[in-house]
């Protein structure tokens, strides 16, 4: 036979390495993606080369018995999918394993075995322009990847770009999807909102809002000082007795709502960049607002117009909230979601505080003991506000923060204690007479009118 | 003299055709020539061999039984040249020759010859690492370096070698006919010809060509079975301006064929440079690259195919990944892909075995008409 002769005559020019027919030192991971209207189908072919097959096999054949059991097949396929990060429009999604098929273990040892894994990813309806990212973390150091998408069968889906890193372990697919339904439209609104919320970490901003109120004692002090006289009537130029449950609740509601409306407006305007936020003057004004409400709690300065005052100073407090939000460095639309979340957090915390305090105020205000709380509270707030004004205006150091924070830290206990005291005062009005007497003795200091004491006594 | 040189085979084929079937001597069209070559081949076979060669035309399993891998790893259907006597062998090669152009048949022979070289130089030897020091001819290869002792089984399967021109298989799907569609498959290591004959139409897709070594010397002559595929594509790349290159050259690595064996019926999203943005000269060069595959089939079918691809040219894409130069006289080491509405060509150098310039796999497809489906599915 001449073939032998021919082979002998053939001179090998440069076979630098032994020639063999199969994959050697790489783990080839080839994925083909099909984009459909509401899901992605993907098929993976995994071919470990001869040199890497032992490593790959060791991770497949977990018990090392030389047989790849059904359970080991499934476990490995799931692991491959776990090692795959997939995001749809920035949202992390999980693939669903559809099938897995393994070659005989002997073929794999020879670098010829091809593992086939099929999976799907459900797509929530979204914007017309979508982005899907696949990133494989499976055996990165020894793998070569091939990732491609098929030309979509759906004429409404148009592939825009495919972006990959050098090894193709990262793959980004941008495509446009047209021809939406009404279901799509409503989903679009939802996903947009969700997108914003996701972008700023809605829960995070919400908690920040709550914390801002819980720890930003100046806002709370303003509100509480303003609420102190809420259950009371005004007679002449002095605070008088209980104005009635309905009236009290209505006033509290009005003040809280007005404050909310006020700070929401400026928070939104400032966060969106319509209003500049000079931080220091705002802080001073906030301290002033506390002083004003404390003074009002001592003597009615603007009886019946608490809501208006609350709204007015709410505007100033809102600017301070915006500063906090601005520190997060969010984009404009993310900030809109931020405002929403932050504000809801603030409102929630406010409501918690008001709900904790309000029953005590309403109960206690029916007794003469309430004077003590009102005046004590007002003095505390007034003192604190003066300290803050001095601190913020003159830059001097006072221990106001320390004091107020000390009180605020024990806020829950104080609220519980106050509630217990108010119940006692309400149940046994005669036991609170000593307070009454104290108040009477120091009439010159306290501002309650004699009528009030007479009525309650 | 090469025993399988075209002239010899054609001579034998002609002799066989004339000798065995005077009635077909008047055959004029390419299809009728292919049909008579097929019938001649079948007539040389024993009943048992014939049964092994023949499949039903719609045998999807056999259709897809082709690969770049040696036949010992992926058993092919049909019967190998090894199991044929000289006359049967000649008749088989005459059938392949009749279905292909002169240039195409030469390419096929060179691929087979390359495998013979591979067999002579590699059989039974352990693999060597990726260093560039070739062993002197005849010297024993060194021990396998740092592969953790993971030696591929170079001893081959029981029953013999895994390389060499004996190990190319032929099969026929359907009944050779001038009217009804039928198929000839011929292939082995680095070769898979799927030839569908449907009336006067001839379809070569899907077809895989490959070469290892992709450069060898035979009878003092340097042979690169897929050298034109390499050179013409590199010439086209060099003919692009910087802006076009930026689009054509992909920033990521392509380690292998995307639409290799087993990936029938898939149309991936095209990438790279669209030929509508090329000038006439560049487009002509692109068509010239394409012709390396399109012209493998016999001349009249190739002409029809090239006309189709020429009409598509503005919708055809060219993408490149890897080094943009080649050592003089050697193949490129870069991957490239040409894709159009009726075409996918992939050229994928293989790093296994060392120098990727010496080992290449290529794929030629028509996603709309693989196995002639576009013509036969009616």
The full DSSP string for A263-284 is: HHHHHHHHHTTSS---HHHHHH
pLDDT over 80 at A236, yes or no: no
Residue A453 lies in a domain: no
Return the residue matching tokens 């390495």. Answer: A17
Residue B136 gets which letter from DSSP?
Answer: P
The beta-carbon neighbor of A165 closest among B252, B255, B267 is B252
Question: A168 and B126: CB-CB below 8 Å?
Answer: no
Task: Give which of A1, A14, A21 to mutate to test B binding, by max B Cβ within 10 Å.
Answer: A21
Q: What is the pTM of this model?
A: 0.61
Q: What is the pLDDT of residue A249?
A: 84
What is the mean pLDDT, run by run of 10 residues, along chain B of 378 residues?
Answer: 55 53 60 96 96 95 90 89 96 97 96 90 45 36 32 39 89 96 95 96 96 90 95 97 96 94 93 96 97 97 96 96 94 97 96 81 95 78
Nearest CA in chain B to A173: B269
- Do residue A245 and residue A290 come from a single domain? yes
All residues of chain A having their beta carbon less than 8 Å from the beta carbon of residue B150 are: 50-51, 53-54
Question: B212 and A21: CB-CB below 8 Å?
Answer: yes
In this structure, the dihedral spanned by the alpha carbons of residues A342, A347, A352 and A353, taken in order and rounded to 10 degrees, is: 100
Question: A3 and B359: CB-CB below 8 Å?
Answer: no
pLDDT over 60 at A240, yes or no: yes
Nearest CA in chain A to B144: A18
Residue A131 lies in a domain: yes
Q: What is the pLDDT of residue A223?
A: 84
Q: Quick one: which of A413, A415, A417 has its CA closest to A356?
A: A415
Give the contacts of B350 (CB within 8 A, at least 6 positions apart): B212, B256, B356, B359, B360, B361
Q: What is the rounded CA–CA span in Å between residue A435 and residue A456?
A: 12
The beta-carbon neighbor of A18 closest among B137, B141, B189 is B141
Q: How many domains does chain A fold into? A: 2
- Do residue A148 and residue A250 come from a single domain? no
pLDDT digits (tens, 9 = 90+) for A77-131: 999 999 999 999 988 999 999 999 999 888 888 888 899 999 999 998 888 889 9
All residues of chain B having their beta carbon less than 8 Å from the beta carbon of residue A49 are: 352
Question: B359 and A168: CB-CB below 8 Å?
Answer: no
Pick from A142, A162, A181: which residue ends a domain?
A: A181
Contact A392, A283 (CB under 8 A): yes
Whole-complex ipTM: 0.81
The beta-carbon neighbor of B218 closest among A6, A16, A165 is A6
Phi, psi values for residue A117, rounded to 5°:
-125, 130
Minimal CA separation from B286 to chain A, in Å: 23
Task: Give which of A9, A10, A53 to mutate to test B binding, by max B Cβ within 10 Å.
Answer: A10
The beta-carbon neighbor of B255 closest among A16, A28, A151 is A28
Contact B376, B201 (CB under 8 A): no
Question: A50 and B150: CB-CB below 8 Å?
Answer: yes
Residue A17 lies in a domain: yes
Question: B354 and A17: CB-CB below 8 Å?
Answer: yes
Instruction: Round the average pLDDT of chain A to a whole number and report it.
Output: 79
The beta-carbon neighbor of B129 closest among A17, A111, A148 is A17
Interface check A189 vs B, CB under 8 A: no
Q: What is the pLDDT of residue A15?
A: 34
- Do residue A174 and residue A218 come from a single domain? no
- Do residue A195 and residue A46 come from a single domain? no
Residue A105 lies in a domain: yes
Minimal CA separation from A335 to chain B, in Å: 36
Question: A18 and B122: CB-CB below 8 Å?
Answer: yes
Interface check A70 vs B, CB under 8 A: no
Average of per-residue pLDDT across A37-47: 94
Average of per-residue pLDDT across A298-312: 86
Residue A309 lies in a domain: yes
All residues of chain A having their beta carbon less than 8 Å from the beta carbon of residue B188 are: none
Residue A434 lies in a domain: yes
- Do residue A104 and residue A206 come from a single domain? no
Q: How many helices (H) and strands (E) does chain B have?
A: 11, 14
Phi/psi region, residue A225 (left: phi>0; alpha: psi -120 to 50; beta: rest), is alpha
All residues of chain B having their beta carbon less than 8 Å from the beta carbon of residue A108 are: none
Q: Quick one: which of B105, B102, B155 has its CA closest to B127?
A: B155
Residue A452 lies in a domain: no
Interface check B115 vs A, CB under 8 A: no
- Position A185 confidence tier, pLDDT thresholds 50, 70, 90: very low
Tokens of A235: 């007679």
Nearest CA in chain B to A24: B352
- Do residue A358 and residue A214 come from a single domain? yes
Q: What is the pLDDT of residue A134?
A: 95
All residues of chain B having their beta carbon less than 8 Å from the beta carbon of residue A50 are: 147, 150-152
Task: Give which of B252, B261, B265, B344 to mutate to test A binding, by max A Cβ within 10 Å.
Answer: B252
Contact B226, B326 (CB under 8 A): no
Question: A145 and B254: CB-CB below 8 Å?
Answer: no
Nearest CA in chain A to B74: A112
H or E element in which residue B43 lies = helix B30-44
All residues of chain B having their beta carbon less than 8 Å from the beta carbon of residue A18 are: 122, 125-128, 141, 154, 353-354
- Do residue A220 and residue A114 come from a single domain? no
Q: Which chain B residues in 37-66 lie under 8 Å from chain A, judged by CB atoms?
A: none
Q: What is the rounded CA–CA span in Å between residue A388 and residue A303?
A: 25
pLDDT digits (tens, 9 = 90+) for A382-395: 988 888 888 888 87
All residues of chain B having their beta carbon less than 8 Å from the beta carbon of residue A42 are: none
- Do residue A294 and residue A431 come from a single domain? yes
The beta-carbon neighbor of A3 closest among B73, B141, B165 is B165
The beta-carbon neighbor of B213 closest among A19, A20, A50 is A19
Q: What is the rounded CA–CA span in Å between residue A16 and residue B128?
A: 8
Q: What is the rounded CA–CA span in Å between residue A433 and residue A431?
A: 5
SS3 of B321-367: the string is ECCCCCCCCCCCCCEEEEEECCEEEEEEECCCCCCHHHCEEEEEECC
pLDDT digits (tens, 9 = 90+) for A396-452: 777 777 777 777 777 778 888 888 888 887 777 665 555 555 555 555 544 444 444
A392 vs A215, which has greater pLDDT? A392
Tokens of A305: 């117009």
Q: What is the pLDDT of residue A433?
A: 57
Write out the residue range of the structural domain in which residue A440 sits: 185-447
- Do residue A144 and residue A202 come from a single domain? no
All residues of chain A having their beta carbon less than 8 Å from the beta carbon of residue B120 are: 7-8, 10
Average of per-residue pLDDT across A148-175: 93
Minimal CA separation from A3 to chain B, in Å: 8
Contact A228, A220 (CB under 8 A): no
Q: Which chain A residues in 102-121 lie under 8 Å from chain B, judged by CB atoms?
A: 107, 110-112, 114
Tokens of B337: 């892909």
- Do residue A67 and residue A177 come from a single domain? yes
Interface check B148 vs A, CB under 8 A: yes
The beta-carbon neighbor of B121 closest among A12, A145, A150 is A12
Q: What is the rounded CA–CA span in Å between residue B163 and residue B170?
A: 16
Average of per-residue pLDDT across A361-365: 82
A13 vs B281, which has greater pLDDT? B281
Pick from A181, A207, A225: which residue ends a domain?
A: A181
Question: B128 and A18: CB-CB below 8 Å?
Answer: yes
Q: Which chain A residues in 318-337 lie under 8 Å from chain B, judged by CB atoms?
A: none
Pick from A150, A181, A212: which residue ends a domain?
A: A181
All residues of chain A having their beta carbon less than 8 Å from the beta carbon of residue B153 are: 110
3-class DSSP state of A68: coil
Task: Give which of B146, B352, B368 to mutate to test A binding, by max A Cβ within 10 Å.
Answer: B352
- Do residue A75 and residue A153 come from a single domain? yes
Minimal CA separation from B269 to chain A, in Å: 5
Residue A457 lies in a domain: no
Question: B269 and A159: CB-CB below 8 Å?
Answer: yes
Q: Which chain B residues in 254-293 lie under 8 Å from chain A, judged by CB atoms?
A: 254-256, 258, 262-263, 266-271
The beta-carbon neighbor of A144 closest among B128, B162, B253 is B253
Buried b (16+ CB within 10 A) or exposed e, B46-68: eeebeebbbbebebeebbbbbbb
Interface check B222 vs A, CB under 8 A: yes
A272 vs B285, which has greater pLDDT? B285
Q: What is the pLDDT of residue B155?
A: 37
- Do residue A100 and residue A198 come from a single domain? no
Q: What are the angstrom distances between the C-alpha of A26 and each of B91, B211, B229?
A: 42, 20, 26
């Amino acid at each position: 036979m001449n073939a032998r002769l021919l082979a002998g005559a053939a001179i090998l020019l440069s076979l630098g390495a032994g020639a063999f027919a199969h994959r050697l030192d790489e783990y080839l991971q080839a994925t083909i993606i099909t984009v459909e209207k509401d899901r992605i189908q993907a098929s993976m072919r995994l071919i470990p080369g001869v040199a890497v097959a032992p490593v790959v096999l060791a991770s497949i054949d977990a018990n090392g018995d030389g047989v790849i059991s059904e359970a080991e097949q499934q476990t490995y396929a799931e692991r491959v999918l776990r090692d795959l990060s997939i995001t749809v429009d920035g949202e992390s999604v999980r693939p669903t394993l559809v099938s897995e098929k393994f070659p005989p273990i002997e073929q794999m040892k020879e670098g010829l075995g091809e593992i086939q894994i099929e999976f799907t990813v459900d797509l929530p309806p979204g914007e017309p322009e979508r982005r899907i990212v696949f990133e494989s973390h499976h055996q990165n150091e020894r793998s070569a990847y091939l990732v491609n998408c098929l030309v979509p069968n759906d004429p409404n889906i148009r592939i825009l770009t495919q972006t990959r890193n050098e090894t193709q372990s990262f793959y980004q697919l941008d495509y446009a999807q047209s021809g939406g339904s009404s279901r799509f439209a409503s989903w679009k609104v939802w996903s947009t909102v969700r997108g914003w919320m996701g972008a700023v970490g809605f829960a995070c901003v919400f908690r920040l809002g709550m914390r801002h109120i819980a720890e930003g004692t100046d806002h709370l002090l303003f509100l509480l000082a303003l609420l102190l006289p809420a259950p009371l009537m005004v007679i002449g130029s002095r605070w008088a007795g209980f104005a009635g449950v309905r009236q009290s609740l209505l006033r509290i509601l009005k003040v809280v709502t007005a404050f909310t409306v006020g700070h929401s407006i400026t928070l939104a305007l400032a966060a969106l960049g319509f209003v500049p936020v000079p931080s220091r003057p705002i802080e001073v004004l906030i301290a002033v607002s506390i002083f004003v409400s404390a003074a009002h709690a001592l003597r009615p300065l603007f009886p019946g117009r608490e809501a208006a005052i609350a709204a007015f100073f709410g505007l100033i407090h809102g600017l301070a909230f915006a500063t906090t939000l601005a520190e997060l460095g969010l984009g404009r639309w993310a900030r809109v979601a931020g405002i929403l979340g932050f504000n809801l957090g603030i409102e929630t915390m406010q409501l918690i505080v008001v709900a904790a305090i309000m029953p005590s105020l309403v109960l206690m205000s029916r007794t003469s003991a309430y004077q003590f709380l009102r005046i004590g509270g007002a003095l505390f707030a007034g003192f604190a506000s003066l300290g803050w004004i001095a601190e913020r205006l003159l830059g001097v150091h006072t221990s106001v923060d320390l004091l107020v924070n000390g009180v605020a830290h024990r806020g829950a206990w104080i609220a519980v204690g106050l509630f217990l005291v108010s119940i006692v005062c309400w149940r046994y009005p005669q036991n609170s007479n000593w307070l009454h007497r104290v108040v009477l003795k120091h009439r010159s200091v306290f501002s309650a009118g004699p009528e009030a004491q007479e009525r309650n006594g | 003299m090469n025993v399988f040189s075209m002239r010899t085979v054609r001579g034998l084929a002609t002799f066989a055709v004339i000798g065995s079937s005077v009635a077909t001597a008047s055959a004029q069209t390419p299809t009728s020539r292919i049909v008579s070559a097929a019938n001649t081949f079948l007539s040389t076979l024993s009943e048992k061999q014939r049964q092994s060669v023949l499949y039903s035309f719609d045998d999807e399993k056999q259709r897809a039984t082709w690969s770049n891998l040696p036949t010992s790893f992926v058993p092919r259907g049909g019967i190998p040249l090894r199991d044929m006597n000289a006359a049967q062998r000649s008749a088989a090669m005459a059938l392949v020759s009749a279905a292909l152009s002169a240039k195409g048949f030469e390419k096929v022979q060179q691929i087979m010859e390359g495998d013979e070289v591979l067999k002579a130089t590699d059989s039974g030897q352990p693999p060597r690492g990726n260093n560039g020091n070739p062993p002197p001819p005849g010297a024993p290869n060194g021990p396998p370096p740092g592969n953790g002792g993971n030696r591929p089984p170079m001893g081959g399967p029981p029953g013999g070698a895994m390389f060499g021109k004996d190990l190319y298989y032929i099969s026929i799907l359907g009944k050779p006919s001038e009217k009804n569609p039928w198929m000839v498959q011929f292939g082995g290591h680095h070769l898979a010809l799927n030839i569908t004959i449907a009336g006067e139409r001839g379809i070569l897709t899907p077809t895989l060509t490959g070469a290892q070594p992709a450069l060898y010397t035979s009878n003092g002559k340097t042979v690169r079975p897929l050298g034109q595929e390499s050179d013409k594509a590199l010439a086209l790349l060099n003919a692009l301006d910087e802006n076009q290159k930026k689009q054509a050259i992909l920033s990521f690595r392509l380690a292998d064929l995307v639409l290799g064996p087993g990936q029938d019926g898939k149309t991936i999203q095209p990438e790279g440079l669209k030929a509508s943005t090329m000038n006439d000269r560049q487009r002509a060069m692109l068509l010239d690259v394409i012709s390396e595959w399109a012209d493998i089939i016999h001349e009249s079918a190739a002409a029809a195919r090239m006309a189709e691809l020429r009409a598509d040219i503005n919708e055809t894409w060219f993408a490149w990944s890897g080094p943009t130069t080649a050592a003089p006289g050697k193949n490129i080491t870069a991957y490239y892909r040409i894709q159009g509405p009726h075409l996918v060509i992939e050229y994928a150098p293989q790093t296994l075995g060392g120098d990727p310039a010496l080992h290449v796999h290529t794929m030629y497809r028509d996603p709309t008409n693989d196995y002639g489906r576009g013509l036969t599915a009616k």
